[in-house]
Structures are given as C-alpha cells and as structure tokens.
Amino acid sequence: FQSVLLYLDDVIVFSSSIEQHLQRLDQVFSRLDAQGLKVKLSKCQFFQKQVKYLGHVVSAEGVSTDPEKAAAVRDWRRPANLADLRSFLGFASYYRRFIAGFAKIASPLNRLVARLLPPGRKGKTPKKPVDEFWDTECEQSFQELKTALTTTPVLAYADFQKPFVLEVDASHAGLGAVLSQEHAGKLRPVAFASRSLKPAEKNMNNYSSMKLELVALKWAVTEKFREYLVGNACTVFTDNNPLSHLATAKLGATEQRWASELAAFDLTIKYRPGSQNANADALSRQHPVLELSETEPLGSERVLGVQAEISTLPGLSPSDLYTLQHKDPVLGPFLKYWERGKIPDARQRHELSKPARELIRQWKRLRE
C-alpha cells in the first residue's frame, strides 16, 4: 500500500516523481515476472496525471467519482421494484463519503426498503413493486441523490505534515462530522461522515445536548477518523459552548471515560455558533436510517469492492509498524512486558509513564 494498490487484475502504481515511479514500476514488473504473470500492453497506461480506479478518478488534486458513472446516474430510471431500489441505494452508498448529508437524503428510500423487506429475510431480494408506496418524499430523495452523485466534490488527500480541522455536530436525529485540511489557502474536505442515533442515545432524559455533542466528538475522533488523527494535531469546531470547556467540566462516569479516550489525541476544541457550523450541522439533522437488525449481510464481492476503495492514508509495512511501536515512549516500555507475557509488578509499574500504566490496567482486554 506504500507504492501500489491492486484489486484482482486492476493494478495502480503511484509515485511523487518520475525517478520514483520508474523504480516502483520495475518492482511491480519484477514481482509479476517472478510469478509467471504477464500484462497486456494495450490495457496499460503509464505516467498519467490521473487514472480511473474502481469507479474513482485518482489525480494529484485528490479522489473524485468517475464522470462515466455520474453520466449513468443521470439517466437512472425510477426504481420499479424493491430489487431495483436496493440496487440504486447500494450504488449510491458506495460513494457516500463524497456526499454531505447522505443519510438524510437517502432516509425516505431507506424507510421504504425497511417497509417492504420481510424481517430477517436473507438471500435474493424479492421484486416487490414500489409504485404503491412511492410518495413525494421518495421522489425527492431519489432526485436529490442523483444530483448529489453528479456534483460530488474532489476529496483532498490527507497531508500528515499539516494539522486537521474537524467539525462535529449532534441533534436528536443523528451525528455529523466533516474532516478537512487547508490546501493552497483553502479548507478542503478529506471525508464526510454521519450516522443515526443508537436506541439508548435517543433518550432525551439521559442524553443532554452537551452529552450528545460529546458522543459525536468521541465517535468522529476515535471511530470514523482515528487513523487520520492519531499523532496529528486537530482543531475541533463545535456549536456546543460547554463542550469547548471539556478539560474543566464536571463529568459523569461515562463522560469521563469518553474524555479519557479523547485524551490520547492532540485536540484543540473551539466553540463556533451553529450558523457558522453549517457543514456538520447539515449532516446531523437527518431522519433515522435503517437499524442494524433491518439490514441483510452483504455478499463477499460487495465487501471486497468496498475494502478495495481508494484510501488516502499512507501505508506502513509490518516491520515499519514494529519499529515505530518499539520506539514510541509509551508503547515501547509496555511492549517489553507484553512480549514476555508477564504483567509488571508494583515497582516496575512505578517506573512507567502514566499512559503506559493505563495500558497495563487494560492488560486483559488487549488483543494483538
């Protein structure tokens, strides 16, 4: 993943200079030759400024959707049955990280699927007609998704030498987050994310606005964008003023646990009124989408397709990770005991840093 991506017979080699590109091409051809594999010259493209890969266009500017796919979406006919509807939603979902507020836009269509799909059904989707249940909300959702898919932004590549900007927002309809970075003096999106609330989070008596905003922050930082933010500075903008004083706020046991998870990240939390926090706010104001129990397992071919989606994260080999982990001031001392399989005694713990002692306390919960 440091120099090449491959999916079946589709191989893409990327480099930052001509010299580096020639070197990496030589490595790829050597590997192919060693395995007795050949490539067809007519299907190869060399030294391109942009290429199409797995339904995306990859260029120096970033990653965008394939214009040919967008053209097909413009001519997509209104689904006539449940199978057609799920096919459209599956196609649209593949590009959801390019669409701000995807969950909100697709909500009426997801509700229609939940209404027509028999509970617990697996296997081939039945071709139930949808005309009887297709209302103005469904039509608006369908048309808005088509428009959004044909006007998607170019997502910037993450530059791990620069700080990130994260906008988060929460409402009792859902959570929203936008990860951005400054490129050429402009703030460009790296990724969008949104989700509906879990059943427990919908209880307004137990989840105040501040607690819900903290849920959004924890979800965005520790789950959705963790790989981007580990070890990198990030400014967080929220429209919840109390959240900007998280370090001095009086928190309950649950909130303290969430705050301790966030403490591992280099975050600067700033308050910004909702009127200026439009990106994340729009993502959070959505109707609930399908619950997990209302979905059915994806086929292996669709899972592989998603796994092969273009990643903007730099790859590290296992040996590189091993070296970096053992040089880390926190992980290094901890790994000495972990590799021996022996928990340090009280005297040895006292010599460790506070974060390393926290890892020791979680010893039985850790997995390699």
Q: Tell me if 53 is assigned to some domain.
A: no
159 lies in a domain? no
Amino acid identity for residue 31 in this structure? R
CATH number of the domain encompassing residue 278:
3.30.420.10
Strand partners, 170: 175
**Residue 121, pLDDT score:** 62
Q: Given this model, what pLDDT does residue 312 score? A: 45
Which of 36, 123, 40 lies closest to 86, judged by CA? 123
Poorest-pLDDT segment among 94-103, 157-166, 182-191, 330-339? 94-103
Instruction: Let me know: does 315 contact 2? Beta carbons within 8 Å.
Output: yes
3-state secondary structure of 270: strand
Q: How far apart are CA 217 and CA 189, in angstroms?
A: 17
Burial of 293 (0-12, 13-18, 19+ CB in 10 A): exposed
121-173 pLDDT, tens per residue?
665 666 788 888 999 999 999 999 888 888 777 788 888 889 999 998 887 76
Any domain includes 208: yes
CA dist 223 → 5, 177, 351 (Å): 24, 12, 31
- Same-domain check for residues 104 and 25: no
What is the layout of strands, in order, in the sheet containing 174-183? 186-195, 174-183, 164-171, 234-238, 267-271
Whether residue 185 sits in one domain with residue 108 = no
Kindly give, in sequence order, each residue whose CB lies less than 8 Å from that of residue 273, ignoring residues fewer than 6 positions away.
Answer: 239
How many domains are there within the chain? 4
Is 157 within a domain? no
Question: What's the whole-number mean pLDDT along residues 241-248?
Answer: 71
Same domain as 226, residue 173: yes
104 and 198 part of one domain: no
Specify the pLDDT at position 344.
Answer: 86
Pair 135, 175 in one domain: no
Residue 14 in any domain: the answer is: yes
Q: Is residue 350 part of a domain?
A: yes
Return the pLDDT at 219: 92
The per-residue pLDDT for range 299-331, each reduced to its tens digit, is 433 333 333 444 444 556 777 788 888 888 888
Domain co-membership, 169 together with 247: yes
Q: Residue 99: is it exposed, middle or buried by C-beta count within 10 angstroms (0-12/13-18/19+)? A: buried
pLDDT at 122: 61
pLDDT at residue 231, as a whole number: 83
Q: Write out the residue range of the structural domain in which residue 222 sits.
A: 164-284
Phi/psi at 263 (5° precision): -65, -20
Are the C-beta atoms of residues 181 and 195 closer than 8 Å to each other? Answer: no
Query: Band of the pLDDT at 287, cuts 50, 70, 90?
Result: very low
**286-291 mean pLDDT:** 37
Is the pLDDT higher at 283 or at 215? Answer: 215
